[in-house]
Amino acid sequence: AQTVTQSQPEMSVQEAETVTLSCTYDTSESNYYLFWYKQPPSRQMILVIRQEAYKQQNATENRFSVNFQKAAKSFSLKISDSQLGDTAMYFCAFMTPGAQKLVFGQGTRLTINP
């Protein structure tokens, strides 16, 4: 069974700093998809970034980028120039084609301080 582990339950940084959230996963599949979701206090789940395992290039979305290390089964999220609005729970998630379900990590609560 696939598992996703986020080893940092909570993190806190100052506004404008860069922060990296860690995620590791376990799978025997070679083709899969990885995601980072943001859940602000409103509770809404928002897709931040997506990575296809067959793509070697790390995905980037504005201030958000990932460091995808397939051999190490690691998928970290880097937030540059952090803003107060980045305060949220962040979930790493994994999906294999045809599995029809997202497997989520436990989440990291990120607080951006003014």
Partner 1 sequence: NAGVTQTPKFQVLKTGQSMTLQCAQDMNHEYMSWYRQDPGMGLRLIHYSVGAGITDQGEVPNGYNVSRSTTEDFPLRLLSAAPSQTSVYFCASSYSRTGTQDEQFFGPGTRLTVL
Residues that bind partner 1 (CB under 8 A): 4, 9, 33, 42-45, 47, 50, 52, 91, 93, 95-102, 104-107
CB of 28 to partner 1, least distance (A): 17
Spell out a b/e string for 100-114, using b for 16 or more CB atoms within 10 Å of the CB, else e: eeebebebbebebee
Which C-beta is closer to partner 1: that of 11 or that of 95? 95
Tokens standing for 110?
Answer: 């990120």
Q: 3 near 26, Cβ under 8 Å? A: yes
Helix (H, G, I), strand (E, B) or coil at 30: coil
Which C-beta is closer to partner 1: that of 41 or that of 114? 41
Which C-beta is closer to partner 1: that of 41 or that of 85? 41
